[in-house]
């Protein structure tokens, strides 16, 4: 009987730990974008309200993140044709010089922003973490991890959410 009880307790403990890590690294946090201190890559302060009226893909990422780079490359390849009416915003917690250098090097038609806080201070534990936001600045979808922007059905679904 005692062995069975230990087994049950051990199993429950393992499940709770797995749930904790799943929630931490695979579930996007609820971000209050109005409370973020944001700057352009040139160092100019930005207010979240300035984006009202725009459909947006907002991705928390970094220049050293392989999945982020793959996703940006795909977004760039479809931006003009599939997402011409969508603002793509990349938010980084890296040094502003690094954000500027990355922006200048890649020449992507995206808005690059520097966040003064570190990602985990707002609950972003894994990157890329992407939010789909409509013209009323409402978060319509959030995804932690790579999004396959080459998948036409994914793009169509996410665009529909922005309406």
Does residue 43 form part of some domain? yes
Residue ranges making up the domain that contains 138: 30-162
φ, ψ of residue 149 in degrees (nearest 5): -70, -10
pLDDT of residue 38: 96
Does residue 45 form part of some domain? yes
Does residue 104 form part of some domain? yes
Does residue 9 form part of some domain? no
Nearest to 77 by CA among 104, 108, 113: 108
Does residue 85 form part of some domain? yes
Q: What's the pLDDT band for 94 if we cut at 50, 70, 90?
A: very high
Does residue 11 form part of some domain? no
pLDDT of residue 161: 85
Does residue 106 form part of some domain? yes
When divided into structural domains, the chain yields a total of 1
What CATH number is attached to the domain comprising 89? 3.40.30.10
Q: What's the pLDDT band for 105 if we cut at 50, 70, 90?
A: very high
Nearest to 115 by CA among 107, 124, 104: 124
Cα separation, 92 vs 104, in Å, equals: 15
Unique residue bearing structure tokens 């931006």: 79
Tell me whether residue 113 is exposed, middle or buried, using C-beta atoms within 10 angstroms of its C-beta: 0 to 12, 13 to 18, 19 or more.
Answer: buried
Nearest to 30 by CA among 122, 116, 145, 146: 122
Q: What is the largest CA-CA distance in the chain?
A: 67
pTM score > 0.75 for this model?
yes
Does residue 5 form part of some domain? no
């Amino acid at each position: 009987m005692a062995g069975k009880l230990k087994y049950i307790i051990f199993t429950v403990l393992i499940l709770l730990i797995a749930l904790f890590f799943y929630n931490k690294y695979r579930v996007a946090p609820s971000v209050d974008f109005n409370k973020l201190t944001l700057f352009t890559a040139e160092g100019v302060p930005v207010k979240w309200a300035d984006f009202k009226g725009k459909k947006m893909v907002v991705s928390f990422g970094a220049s050293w993140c392989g999945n982020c780079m793959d996703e940006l490359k795909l977004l760039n390849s479809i931006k003009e044709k599939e997402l011409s009416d969508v603002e793509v915003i990349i938010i980084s917690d890296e040094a502003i010089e690094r954000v500027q250098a990355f922006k200048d090097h890649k020449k992507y038609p995206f808005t690059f922003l520097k966040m003064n806080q570190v990602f985990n201070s707002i609950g972003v534990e894994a990157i890329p973490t992407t939010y789909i936001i409509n013209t009323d600045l409402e978060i319509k979808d959030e995804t932690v991890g790579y999004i396959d922007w080459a998948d036409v059905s994914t793009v169509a679904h996410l665009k529909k959410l922005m309406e």
